[in-house]
Amino acid sequence: MSIRYKQLDVFAARHGGGNPLGVVIDADGWSDARMQRFAHWTNLVETTFLLPPTAAKADYRARIFTPSKEIPFAGHPTIGSAHAALDAGLVRPGADGIVWQECGAGVLPILVEGDGATRELFVQAPKARVVRDAGCGGETLSSVLYGIRLGALPPVCVEGGRRWWVAEFADEADLRTWHPDHAAIRALALATDTLGLCVFARSPEGLAVRAFPAGVGIVEDPASGAANGLIAAYVATHDTSGTLSRGYVVSQGREVGHDARIIIRIDGDDVWVGGRTNTIVDGVVDWRDA
pLDDT tens per residue across span 85-127: 999 999 999 999 999 999 998 999 999 999 988 999 999 988 8
- pLDDT attached to residue 13: 87
CA atoms within 13 A on the CB side of 194: 30
Q: Is the pLDDT of residue 213 over 70?
A: yes
Average pLDDT, the chain: 94
**Per-residue pLDDT reduced to its tens digit, 178-192:** 999 999 999 999 999
- pLDDT attached to residue 273: 97
- Give residue 270's identity as a one-letter amino acid code: D
Split at pLDDT 50, 70, 90, the class of 158 is very high
| Cα gap 253→211, rounded to integer Å | 9
**Per-residue pLDDT reduced to its tens digit, 252-262:** 999 999 999 99
- For residue 268, CA distances in Å to 18, 129, 240 come to 28, 14, 9
| Cα gap 63→71, rounded to integer Å | 8
Closest CA to 251 of 271, 279, 228, 235: 228
On whether the CB atoms of residues 262 and 223 are closer than 8 A, the answer is yes
The H or E element spanning position 21 is strand 19-24
User: H-type helices in the chain, by residue range?
Assistant: 32-42, 75-87, 138-144, 172-177, 182-192, 225-238
- pLDDT attached to residue 97: 97
Split at pLDDT 50, 70, 90, the class of 242 is confident
- pLDDT attached to residue 121: 98
Q: For the residues of 57-102, what is the DSSP string, one character each?
A: T-SEEEEEE-SS-EES--HHHHHHHHHHHHHTTS----TTSEEEEE
Count Cβ neighbours within 10 Å for each residue of 62-85 and write b for 16 or more, e otherwise: bbbbbbeeebebbbbbbbbbbbbb
- pLDDT attached to residue 135: 87
**pTM to 2 decimal places:** 0.93
Split at pLDDT 50, 70, 90, the class of 217 is confident
Which of 114-118, 187-191, 228-232, 278-282 is predicted least confidently?
Answer: 114-118
- pLDDT attached to residue 1: 66
- pLDDT attached to residue 62: 98
Please, which contacts does 64-69 make with residues 24 or more away whose CB atoms are closer than 8 Å? 64/103, 64/104, 65/35, 65/36, 65/39, 66/39, 66/216, 67/39, 67/40, 67/42, 67/43, 68/40, 68/216, 68/217, 69/36
